[in-house]
Structure 1
């Protein structure tokens, strides 16, 4: 059994979904493990990770709209607003999604479905540099 650990830096342009499937696949391939378990972990409290459809961009549009309605920016609504009106809504959106994903690896590739992609979901309006920890355990 072997393991590998690395970090992926993701630059966001502000709120929205950033697909990282290609970077993750390339990293897994470079590790040379045929079978294993890949863990991805978002090291932030105002961004998250999703596995979602990557064929139709309307899916991302609808997801972003849904979360904006679910946890709206509303001045005076939240006690925590230390970093601006998008601060607490970003934390709520991250709490409702995932900070960690587990993806099986077989034949040297993540076992994602045909239309599945891995996304970093930026919940803040300003551009950020986000970090996703990648851990692969396998052989």
Structure 2
């Protein structure tokens, strides 16, 4: 059993979903692991990770709109140290999660045909986010 780990820096443009499938899959492929398990972990409390459809252009925008309805900036939140998007960003990260487990089969991510890995940026301004990849396998 082998293990490998790395981190990826992802630049965001503000509230959005940033697809990271290509970068993650490329790193996994370079590890030469045939069968294993990849953990993807977001090191932030106001950003998160999703596996979601990557074929229809409208899906990311619809997800962002839905999250904004569930955790609006004008929700009367007490925590607003970094602005009105601060607490809603934390709530959205709770809902969507900061970690993913993805099987590796035949040296590739075992994602479905229309599945992609996304970093969800929940803040309104751009950030540089960090995700950690940990692969165990043989």
Q: Quick check: TM above 0.5?
A: yes
**Which residue does 1:116 correspond to in 2?**
115
Report whether the alignment pairs 1:30 with 2:4: no
Q: How many residues align?
A: 138
CA distance in 2: counterparts of 1:97 and 1:22, whole angstroms: 21
CA distance in 1: counterparts of 2:32 and 2:71, whole angstroms: 41
Q: Give the gaps of 5 or more residues in structure 2.
A: none
Moved over 4 A (4+): none
**Which residue does 1:2 correspond to in 2?**
2
Deviations 1:53-103 (A, max 9, x none): 00001111110100011100117x011000000000000100111100000
Q: Give the gaps of 5 or more residues in structure 1.
A: none
CA distance in 1: counterparts of 2:22 and 2:125, whole angstroms: 24
Report whether the alignment pairs 1:98 with 2:92: no
CA distance in 2: counterparts of 1:130 and 1:57, whole angstroms: 23
Deviations 1:90-123 (A, max 9, x none): 0010011110000000110000000000000000
Moved more, 54-63 or 42-51: 54-63
Q: TM-score when scaled to structure 1?
A: 0.98
Deviations 1:4-42 (A, max 9, x none): 000011000000100000000000001011000000000
The DSSP-based 3-state class of the residue aligned with 2:59 is helix
